[in-house]
Amino acid sequence: MTAQRSALLWMLASQSLMLAPHGSRMPLWMLCGCLAMGAFTLARIQGYVRLPSKWVAVASVFMGWGLLWREYGSPMVVEFWVDLLLFMYTAKLLELTSKRDVSQIMLLSFFVAMTHFLFDESMWQTIVTFSGLVMVMATLIALHSSSTQTQGRQPLKLAGIAFLQALPLLVILFVFFPRLSPFWTIPLEKGAAFTGLNDRLMLGDIHSLVQSDELAFRVNFTSAPPASRDLYWRTLVLSAVSEGGWVVGSPPRPTPSIKFGAEGATIDYELLSQPMRVPFIPSLDRVLSVEGTSVRLDPLGFVRSASVLQTVSQYKMRSGLNAVNGAELSKAERAAYLALPLRTNPLARTFGASLAEDYQTPDAVIHTVLAWYFDEFTYTLNPDASKRDSIDHFLFETKRGFCEHFAASFTWVMRAAGIPARVVLGYQGGAYNPSGNYIEVRQFDAHAWSEVWVQGEGWRRVDPTAFIAPERIERGMGASAAGMDGLMTGEAWDYFQMRSLGWLFDLQLQVQALSHLWDRVIVNYDQTRQMRWLSTVWPDLELEDLAPLALAAFLLGLGVITVGLVAPPFRRGLSREARWYQSYLRCLDGITLDQVGRGAGVARCQEAWGSARPAEAALAQGFVEKFELSLYQEDQSVSPSSVSKALLVLKMRLAWMRLTGRWDHHSQRPKRII
């Protein structure tokens, strides 16, 4: 009874560990249901309550289905199916009576483990999932062994050893197994909780981003990374105004004569992007080429992906920091980049028009506006709530704002003054991680700036924020946030607080570097990378060769393990005789050794074995005779190899006997365990 009780406790523990990663995602009622089910089973193991009637189980299952349907309303989201699985996984506890039920729950756990990776592929998730799997194996061990072997943490230890032994196979499969694309997909629920840039800019949008310390992307440079002020991560271009905000719009395609000329230095880098809300990938201003799956370079000079990024993805890019583009703007383009809605922000439009009259060249207009910003405006992360004509309100009343305010108003004024202009959304700066030699950009690095058309020069990047709060640009978000003590709230603030603790920050950097490595090497190991890696070892490898190769490697690994199990263990400093003896003792399976003690010779063990399990002991007779002849009689006619052979024969026959015996044992009817 105690053995079975401990197995049940193991089962509850591993089930909780398997459900835990879903805990924060699943609906609250379901979380409560799972906890209640667990508590009920715990009480049942302790003998306080009994199993309710079948109808209670049936009713609660139907109720759960109903609630799930109400929650998602459609079977076309993955969460619905995952939660259904988890619900049934937990509800199985309501009909837990036999050993077989525990086995079933545990086998289902392996399937549940896979669902973890639908939502998170990080290193941490992998660690949690793997420890859950070890617990599941410990449960299976506890379930299938006698009470003497399941004392304390013994099953966990065995499971841990088994897990470590399986690691080489895991590596083989990981490296060689063909990467299959899914046969079908169900989208994740809309509005999945990715934070990030939106494809429109309403005042206040970026401000809410700045509160978040979530990772946006990481970049590895092949050479030294540029200084912070050059790190403008252009993500999308907003060229139209709609309902008081800047939107992507549909600007006319640039005329073919316009092309980006690479003048001066170019820089190569690899960008590993986290899931994004928009189908645009950040790239360093100004991107020249990009490599990666389903991405293309937009004529406007940013990177566009075919669909919204759901997983961590890697891209290889090249940018020219001083790149300029052609000098012609078509009529349609000019019209599009000058368009302003008529009714909103009249003051700003009049102000722009007056500037156009006062100054002749665009340069003068730009400098005047920037100088005005510098003299009269305040950079703050706590701007006042915007009103309807928010640009007028900002320019002529509050004069307190944030990068989005400056970029939006500046572009507006430029258009009003007859200079083609557009807003660019992206990220600025990033933290350099020396442990991993990469730059890490988080959501609080989100930034907005402007691009204005200067005849003869092309699109010029103008960042009004750089004039008002240069430290934001020079040294990154952290510097300006520290300067404005208390202005930032939420996670991002904690992040910067943490950063001021020296050793903790160092540690954090190391962990982040590790996590970055994980994303690059493990999560991103797709078919292309697999083929590239394998072809360095195996130059003419074809994709079709992968499957047989994986199978061969797997079988080879299996063979190594089998040999390891059957062959005498490799132990330094042990004589051949001692190895025979130890190997023989392991055949006894520990049980008879308890009766005879450690100092037992082969003959005594054999006697004890014979009285405990005569059928098995009979198999060992041949070995025992050979062993004694060789060791104690020093009979030269018995060669060491013949003793080894006898031992091997013993092991084989014993393994076969135990296997068949176990089969017989298992085919009996399942017994009730509670």
Partner 1 sequence: MNEPIQSVLDGLDAIILGKQREVRLALASLLAGGHLLIEDVPGTGKTTLALALGRVLGLQHRRVQFTVDVLPSDITGSSIYRQSEQTFEFHPGPVFSQILLADEINRAMPKTQSALLEAMEENAVSQDGVTYPLPSPFFVIATQNPVHHSGTYPLPESQLDRFLMTLQMGYPSADAELVLLTSEPARQKVLDQSALSTPEQLLGWQADVRGVKVASAIADYVLRLVRRSREDASFEMGLSPRGGLSLVAASRSWAFLQGRDFVTPEDVQAVFAAVCQHRLRFRSSEDRAGSLHSLTEFLNHVDVVA
Question: What is the contact surface with partner 1 in residues (CB under 8 A)?
Answer: 574-575, 577-578, 580-581, 597-604, 628, 631-634
How far is 651 from 620, CA to CA, in rounded Å?
9
Least separation in angstroms between CB 599 and partner 1: 4
Residue 242 · residue 249 · CB < 8 Å: yes
* 3-state DSSP of 366-414: HHHHHHHHHHHCEECCCCCCCCCCHHHHHHHHHCEECHHHHHHHHHHHH
What's the min distance (Å) between Cβ of 313 and partner 1?
59
Q: Which is nearer to partner 1, 361 or 633 (CB)?
A: 633
CB burial of 586-622 (b: ≥16 within 10 Å; e: otherwise) equals ebbeeebbeebeeebebeebbbbbbeebeebbebbee
Q: Between 338 and 596, name the residue whose CB sits nearer to partner 1.
A: 596
State the nearest-atom distance from the C-beta of 649 to partner 1, in Å: 20
Taking the complex as a whole, the smallest distance from the CB of residue 622 to partner 1 amounts, in Å, to 17
CA distance 419 to 426: 22
What is the pairing mode between strands 232-238 and 280-281?
A: unpaired
Return d(Cα 340, Cα 350) in angstroms, integer. Answer: 12
DSSP one-letter string for 22-79: HHTTS-HHHHHHHHHHHHHHHHHHHTSS-PPPHHHHHHHHHHHHHHHHHHH--TTSHH
| Residue-level length of the chain | 674
| 105: its two tokens | 């729950």
Closest residue by Cα to residue 472 from 13, 463, 187? 463
C-beta of 534 vs 574, nearer to partner 1: 574
Nearest residue to 453 (alpha-carbon basis) of 304, 300, 342, 281:
300
Q: What gap in Å lies between CA 420 and CA 331, rounded to an integer?
A: 11
Which residue number, 304 or 604, has a Cβ lying nearer to partner 1? 604
Buried b (16+ CB within 10 A) or exposed e, 405-427: bbbbbbbbbbbbbebbbbbbbbb
Q: How far is the CB of 625 from partner 1 (least distance, A)?
A: 12
Q: How far is the CB of 597 from partner 1 (least distance, A)?
A: 4
**Pairing state between β 378-379 and 400-401:** parallel
Nearest Cα to Cα of residue 583 among 604, 601, 569, 603: 569
Q: State which residue, 118 or 631, has the beta carbon closest to partner 1.
A: 631
Candidates 298, 320, 305, 195; CA nearest to 237 is 298
User: Prior bond to 286 cis, omega within 30?
Assistant: yes
Distance CA(598)–CA(604), nearest Å, equals 11
Check if the beta carbon of residue 319 is closer than 8 Å to that of residue 225: no
Residue number with CB closer to partner 1 (179 or 576): 576
Q: Please, which residue, 47 or 599, has the CB nearer to partner 1?
A: 599
Helix (H) / strand (E) element for 142: namely helix 123-143
Residue 252 or 601: the one with the smaller Cβ distance to partner 1 is: 601
Shortest approach of partner 1 to residue 607 CB, angstroms? 9
Phi, psi of 272 (to 5 degrees): -115, 105
Compare residues 58 and 578 and give the one whose CB is closer to partner 1. 578
Q: How far is the CB of 569 from partner 1 (least distance, A)?
A: 15
Query: Closest approach of Cβ 640 to partner 1, in Å?
Result: 13
Whether the Cβ atoms of residue 643 and residue 623 lie closer than 8 Å to each other: yes
Residue 575 or 637: which CB sits closer to partner 1?
575
The residue among 165 and 611 lying less far from partner 1, judged by its C-beta, is: 611
Instruction: Write down the residue that tokens 């809300």 correspond to.
Output: 277
Residue type, position 640, single letter: P
Q: Under 8 Å CB-to-CB from 670, ≥6 apart: which residues?
A: 98, 99, 100
Token pair for 281:
């990938």
Q: Which is nearer to partner 1, 2 or 575 (CB)?
A: 575
What is the distance of C-alpha 491 from the center of its chain? 20
Sequence letter at residue 594: D
Closest CB to partner 1 among 111 and 632?
A: 632
- Residue 456 or 573: the one with the smaller Cβ distance to partner 1 is 573
Question: Min. distance of Cβ 601 from partner 1 in angstroms?
Answer: 4
The least distance separating partner 1 from the CB of residue 648, rounded to whole angstroms, comes to 18
Contacts for 605-611: CB closer than 8 Å, 24+ residues apart: none
Pick between residue 569 and residue 597 the one whose CB is nearest to partner 1. Answer: 597
Looking at this protein, which amino acid is placed at residue 541?
L
Beta bridge partners of 281: 303
Is the Cα torsion angle 228, 231, 235, 238 positive or negative in sign?
positive
Q: How far apart are CA 598 and CA 152, in angstroms?
A: 23
Nearer to partner 1, 632 or 656 (CB): 632
Shortest reach from residue 628's CB to partner 1, in Å: 6
Instruction: Report which DSSP code applies to 359.
Output: -
To the nearest whole angstrom, how small is the minimum distance from the Cβ of residue 629 to partner 1? 9
Q: Who's near 19: CB < 8 A, 6+ residues apart?
A: 34, 86, 89, 90, 112
Is the Cβ of residue 456 or residue 599 nearer to partner 1 in the bound state? Answer: 599
CB of residue 645 vs partner 1: minimum separation in angstroms?
Answer: 19
State the minimum distance, in angstroms, from the CB of residue 588 to partner 1: 14
- Least spacing, CB of residue 578 vs partner 1, in Å: 5
Question: Residue 54 corresponds to which tokens in the numbers above?
Answer: 């079948």
Taking the complex as a whole, the smallest distance from the CB of residue 584 to partner 1 amounts, in Å, to 9
